[in-house]
Amino acid sequence: GKHRIVIPCLGHFKEEYEKVSKLYMNNKIRTTRYTLLNFLPLNLFEQFHRVANLYFLFLVVLNWVPLVEAFQKEITVLPLIGVLTIIAVKDGLEDYSRYKMDKQINNLVTKVYSR
């Protein structure tokens, strides 16, 4: 069966803990999707995987061609920017709530029993 070894970082176990802990990843929970550095590029990448957003981007680019121009160039960009902004804010708030929950779970007091 599967089993788990827990070595407390106390007194005479400290050397053994340091030796064993180098072999394993930490056990922090991380369910967030973004960091502050990758939020904007990763979020835009995910949003442009939606066909509707690609369609609106195509319309914006097409409107910049003088022969096909139907509206003012700036006006066609506004709906796309509005939708992208609303979805980015929603994704950011969801990710921030996941971050707070992860932080709360990772800071719980844990009891370690030894024989």
Domain assignment of residue 16, yes or no: no
Alpha helices in the chain (DSSP H): 14-21, 39-47, 51-63, 73-106
Domain assignment of residue 24, yes or no: no
**What is residue 66's predicted lDDT score, i.e. its pLDDT?**
81
**What is residue 54's predicted lDDT score, i.e. its pLDDT?**
92
Amino acid identity for residue 66 in this structure: P
Tokens 């719980």 sit on residue: 108
What would the pLDDT profile of 57-95 be if each residue is shown by its tens digit? 998 888 888 887 777 878 888 989 999 999 999 999 999
Domain assignment of residue 44, yes or no: yes
Which of 105-110's residues contact partners 24+ apart within 8 Å by CB, and which partners? 105/29, 106/28, 106/29
Determine the structural domain holding residue 51 and report its residue range.
Answer: 29-107
Task: Please count the CA atoms within 13 angstroms of the CA of 23 that sit on its side-chain side.
Answer: 5
Domain assignment of residue 21, yes or no: no
What is the number of structural domains in the chain? Answer: 1
Q: What is the phi/psi pair of residue 61, to 5°?
A: -65, -40
Domain assignment of residue 12, yes or no: no
The whole-angstrom separation of Cα 43 and Cα 58 is 19
